[in-house]
Amino acid sequence: MAPDMDSALGADVLPEGGVRFAVWAPRVETMVLELLGSQVNEHPMARSMDGIHSVTVPHASAGTDYWYRVDAETRRPDPRSRYQAHGVHGPSQIVDPADFSWTDEDWIGIELDDYVIYEIHVGTFTPEGTFLSAIAKLDHLVALGITAVELMPVAAFPGDRNWGYDGVHLFAPQVTYGGPEGLRAFVNACHRRGLVVILDVVYNHLGPEGNYLHAFGPYFTTKYKSPWGEPLNFDDEDSPQVRRYFRDNAVYWLEEFHIDSLRLDAVHAIQDLGARHVLEELNQSFHFAADRLRKKCYLIAESDLNDSRVINPPHRGGHGFDSQWLDDFHHAMHVVLTGRDQAFLGDYRGLPDLKKCLQNGYVYTGQYSAHRRRFHGNSSTQSLDRQFVIFNQNHDQVANTCEGERLVQIVGRDLFHTAALVLLASPFVPMLFMGEEWGEMRPFEYFTDFGDENLARAVTRGRRKEHKGFLGSGRKFQDPQDRSTFTNSRIDWEAPSQPDHAGTLRLYRDLIALRRANPALGVGGRQDSPIEIDEDARWIRQNRKGTDDSLAEILVNFSESRVRVPVSPASQDLELKIWTRDPIYSPATSATPLPARLRAGGREQSLTLVEMDGPSAAIYMTEKRKSS
């Protein structure tokens, strides 16, 4: 008999009163619902032929804690718990989504092309580390020019501090962040300010502590291997309800929390050999729900496969993601800036690969990767520019590649500013990591708070081993379980008041404003944007053209010396818009000013070369602007 895929699962408050409880648990023959604090607290549940246990309790209401008793004595939280108010090991709590008063009825989202993303970790974004305290910082993001806020995972995890990738209750926002009420308030506040909310979700594994899905059904499989424990069962026996669990979760965030877009963590670790991949199925469900709600919502993948099938539509044999993180940009840029060659960075050649990335997308398109010891990637020339999200920093790359150090600490402020201009003048969707906009100096480390001592020790050992390839610069290893590793990772909101940080913040604001105002600097047109480089002199020149025929010339010097960058023949005069060594951005540095204009070739006083001091970058543009 085919499984019942229509019955609602979870604890749902009914319009007429009472709560219906339903859970898929084919491994359990008899199940009892326990309501805590109720006069009648034990309610036997009816079991269907396909393992769905259900019961309706007329006197149950929101705010009540409950357990599922899976045998005579064993109590387990609900696999679809909306709230773990007492932590991942405690009872679940009934939540009525209708209790929240939304004010975003007219919000429909924005186009992916208009995303300027800002990634935050809720626990370290503010001293309080909550959704509500983060609301107070949203006006800063609006002033910066950000249009999309990306939250690292918020699904309930063990302890009170974690990156979020060890979540075990995927429907329950973390209690220490403020739970479901806090997340709804945060999303509502974002929409009130015109900000999109992207949520990072993890569908490739569950965390090792507080994961009770084994007690209910075959959520996991032994068919495959995973670096994070047992892989999820997406294609083995009894997998339809497992697939549904994750499909429903994606739609849940959209419907009950008004989340705009999802970023799926490490989709390359989601293994499914079925005829229709679970990711394609999930994409279809998500976009069907978005269409029904008449909202502009997108799915963004993290993938290290360099496989365009991830972002190709299903009719071209793809999974249908709207976009993906493009690690190649970070890796090529990091090698340009630092010259490092540890681990996977050894695969990148610096400027030539940065040029290839800006023109093509993937750097690895089928050539041999020495790090992987195999051929890697395929062509992305047919992919759209909006299908790539790029960054100079993110949570992974700061904590892993840079041993917790921020990029500005490693390369200095001039190179840091130079890289910022390249990022924000690119044809792809740009993303910043919290604090980057003022050159945050505090580290961002990997931290956990596991209660199982054996697990905690194993995580510390594993982290040390995993990090070995990047250790060696004299920095002390930071134990993930040490609370100071977490508290030291909080960003410093006092920093922007200092001159150097204030200059960096002004640069980021001006770059984002210039990008958003000029079609020549927005998403699109990479294949019509010629790029020239000089690998020895370490300069790069890119020309971009807007849909309104506006022109931009981007000149970049990555070297420590003065270089002469040739100017491309231009059909119009170009005016200097931003120069990273301008004293308003770098008050502590000095450099020979750049010419204010580039004259068209052949005219009197035309320039053929621009001399650029030290690490610096500039944007010259025509005067055409987007109509507002």
CB atoms near residue 74 (< 10 Å): 12
Give the integer Cα–Cα distance in Å for 521 and 568: 17
Q: What residue type is assigned to position 279 of the chain?
A: L
- Quote the radius of gyration of the chain (alpha carbons, Å): 26
Identify whether the C-beta of residue 69 lies closer than 8 Å to the C-beta of residue 75. yes
DSSP-assigned beta bridge partners for residue 156: 169
Which residue is it, tokens 């053209």? 545
Give the integer Cα–Cα distance in Å for 416 and 337: 8
Question: Structure tokens of 222?
Answer: 């032994």
Give the integer Cα–Cα distance in Å for 431 and 11: 37
- Mapping DSSP to helix (H, G, I), strand (E, B) and coil, where does residue 432 land? strand
What do you get for the CA distance between the two ends of the chain, in Å?
58
Q: Which residues contact 549 (CB under 8 A, 6 or more apart)?
A: 624
Q: How many residues are given for the chain?
A: 628
Q: What residue type is assigned to position 309 of the chain?
A: R
Identify whether the C-beta of residue 339 lies closer than 8 Å to the C-beta of residue 411. no
- Mapping DSSP to helix (H, G, I), strand (E, B) and coil, where does residue 382 land? coil
- Active-site residue identified among 12, 280, 281, 302: 302
Burial code (b: 16+ CB inside 10 Å, e: under 16) for 123-141 equals bbbbeebbbbbbbeebeeb
Question: Structure tokens of 191?
Answer: 């929409």
Identify whether the C-beta of residue 326 lies closer than 8 Å to the C-beta of residue 428. yes
- Active-site residue identified among 209, 230, 235, 265: 265
Identify whether the C-beta of residue 192 lies closer than 8 Å to the C-beta of residue 104. yes
Q: What does each C-alpha distance from 486 to 34, 144, 367, 445, 481 come to in angstroms?
A: 36, 26, 40, 7, 9
Q: Any catalytic annotation for residue 12?
A: no
Q: Which residues contact 391 (CB under 8 A, 6 or more apart)?
A: 119, 325, 329, 330, 397, 423, 430, 431, 432, 433
Q: Beta strand 374-375 with 531-534: parallel, antiparallel or unpaired?
A: unpaired
Q: Any catalytic annotation for residue 230?
A: no
Q: Beta strand 374-375 with 46-47: parallel, antiparallel or unpaired?
A: unpaired
Give the integer Cα–Cα distance in Å for 457 and 105: 48
Sign of CA dihedral 520, 526, 532, 535: positive
DSSP-assigned beta bridge partners for residue 23: 53
Identify whether the C-beta of residue 520 lies closer than 8 Å to the C-beta of residue 551. yes
Question: Structure tokens of 342?
Answer: 């540890």
Identify whether the C-beta of residue 256 lies closer than 8 Å to the C-beta of residue 299. no
Question: Structure tokens of 105?
Answer: 């009825």
Which are the catalytic amino acids? Answer: 265, 302
